[in-house]
Amino acid sequence: MTENRQFGHHAAHARGVFIDAWGDGPLMMRHGKRKWLFEFSDMFGPTVLNQKGDPHRIQPTSEEDPFWVPFQLWFKGGKKNRAVRTKHGRLIFKVCHVPKEGLP
């Protein structure tokens, strides 16, 4: 299997199958003492990332996962974010603005 990875772009080719998905990110979201890095695709939804920027081996699949409350508020609030860049202008991540209304 070959894989092409640019930020926000995942493409893989294996045995005659080509998979291609685009997303926005890396996005960083905080709630309480928790922090998540993730990418977001309008087609596929969020993919939680590890510190290296790769998909985390554990994704929030349960409705009770603490990721979903701030994510839903961010999503319903218009997916607002602010870019954080290096002094040379390279994107590090985008900070998500999670509305405070509705947080437990």
Greatest CA separation found in the chain? 48
- At 31-89, the pLDDT tens digits run 888 999 999 887 778 999 998 888 899 999 999 999 999 999 999 988 898 989 888 88
pTM of the model: 0.73
Confidence (pLDDT) at 53: 85
pLDDT score of 31: 87
Residue 28 predicted with pLDDT over 70: yes
- What are the sequence ranges of the domains in the chain? 2-96
Mean pLDDT of 28-33: 90
Q: What is the dihedral of CA 45, 71, 37, 9, to 10 degrees?
A: 20
Using a 10 angstrom Cβ sphere, with 0-12 exposed, 13-18 middle and 19 or more buried, the burial of residue 3 is exposed
Note whether 50 and 40 are within 8 A (CB): no
* Proportion of the chain in helix, strand, coil states, percent, rounded to 5: 10, 50, 45
